[in-house]
Amino acid sequence: MKYRYLTLADRQEIEKLYQSEARFADIADSIGVSVVTIYREIENGSTGKDEYGRPIYSADAAERAFIERLKRRGRKPTSREVCNE
């Protein structure tokens, strides 16, 4: 299995599908990741709860959180390309 980071486009697709109340399994299938990845992504990109207690997901907030995690690891957040050194 090849591992990859979610892109901003992936996160925007997750946000669109999540707001349309798609099942997590359906979101995972459309993005090509596991259901666990979707659960974690929704948790990481949560900006609060709605009136029903459901997390409010923001792709932009999730992307900012991802970049902050990269900074803490010491990686450059501007480039996601793999170096061929």
pLDDT by residue (tens digit) across 12-59? 999 999 999 999 999 999 999 999 999 999 999 999 998 989 999 999
- Name the residue with tokens 């459309």: 30
Q: Which helix (H) or strand (E) holds 38?
A: helix 35-44
- Alpha helices (runs of H) in 1-85, residue ranges in sequence order: 8-19, 24-31, 35-44, 59-73
What pLDDT is attached to residue 73? 80
Write down the pTM of the prediction: 0.79
Other beta carbons within 10 Å of 35? 14
Q: Please say whether the beta carbons of 84 and 73 come within 8 A.
A: no
CA 81/CA 13 separation, integer angstroms: 21
